[in-house]
């Protein structure tokens, strides 16, 4: 999904200011590029997805360090490559420990103050039909949707339940909502 450079620059600038819509734009614009790059490297859907989620999490966490004279896609791919290398090193060294870090809320400036169209769709749908749609998602997306919308847990609580950084939870929720909206839209068009 190629965008005009000025449009992309504007979204990067707004993401640096913490604008949720710009984070969404960057995620949706570059998700397939990073995911497909990792799929070629790992040849595993789940590893590719996890690395892609971590890549966006790290990129959004460090968005202030991005320099506009560089290509944003290349920057994301490099982050993704580094995460994959780290994963391989851990596996090769047989280190299976999970690391957890206490993170100050101020570090993650991805705002969540207005319901998105996907959120409205989730709350307005017939529950039985919605559950059928949700079951079409991969299990990790089903779980994060369940924790957020049915158990009504906060991002911090979901992060603790899944034992994952809060930014990963936010990225998974963004991706799950996008995929769920696509499933619902495709079913309505048929």
Q: How far apart are CA 91 and CA 16, in angstroms?
A: 34
Angle between helices 20-42 and 72-92 (to 10 degrees): 50
The CATH class, in words, for 112-189 is mainly alpha
- Residue 101 has a pLDDT of 43
Per-residue pLDDT of the chain (190 residues; tens, 9 = 90+): 444 456 888 998 998 888 888 888 998 999 999 999 999 988 888 888 889 988 998 898 889 888 888 899 999 999 999 988 888 888 777 544 444 344 444 444 445 555 555 555 555 545 667 778 888 889 888 999 888 888 888 888 999 999 988 888 888 888 888 888 888 888 766 6
5-92: CATH number? 1.10.1740.10
Q: How far apart are CA 165 and CA 110, in angstroms?
A: 13
Q: Would you say the CATH fold of 112-189 matches that of 5-92?
A: no
pTM of the model: 0.59
Tell which residue, 155, 26, 152, 165, has the closest CA to residue 100: 165
Each domain of the chain, given as residue ranges in start order, spans 5-92, 112-189
Q: How far apart are CA 178 and CA 65, in angstroms?
A: 27
Q: How far apart are CA 79 and CA 97, in angstroms?
A: 22
Tell which residue, 135, 163, 165, has the closest CA to residue 150: 135
- Residue 123 has a pLDDT of 53
């Amino acid at each position: 999904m190629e965008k005009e450079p000025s449009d992309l620059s504007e979204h990067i600038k707004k993401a640096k200011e913490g604008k949720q819509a710009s984070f969404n734009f960057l995620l949706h614009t570059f998700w397939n590029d990073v995911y497909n790059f990792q799929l070629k490297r790992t040849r595993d859907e789940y590893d590719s997805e996890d690395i892609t989620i971590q890549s966006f999490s790290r990129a959004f966490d460090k968005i202030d360090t991005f320099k506009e004279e560089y290509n944003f896609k290349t920057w994301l791919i490099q982050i993704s490559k580094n995460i994959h290398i780290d994963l391989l090193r851990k596996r090769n060294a047989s280190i299976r420990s999970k690391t957890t870090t206490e993170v100050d809320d101020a570090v993650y400036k991805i705002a969540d103050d207005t319901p998105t169209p996907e959120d409205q769709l989730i709350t307005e749908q017939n529950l039985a039909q919605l559950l059928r749609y949700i079951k079409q998602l991969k299990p990790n997306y089903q779980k994060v949707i369940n924790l957020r919308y049915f158990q009504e847990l906060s991002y911090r609580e979901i992060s603790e339940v899944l034992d994952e950084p809060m930014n990963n939870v936010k990225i998974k929720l963004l991706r799950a909502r996008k995929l769920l909206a696509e499933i619902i839209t495709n079913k309505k068009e048929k």
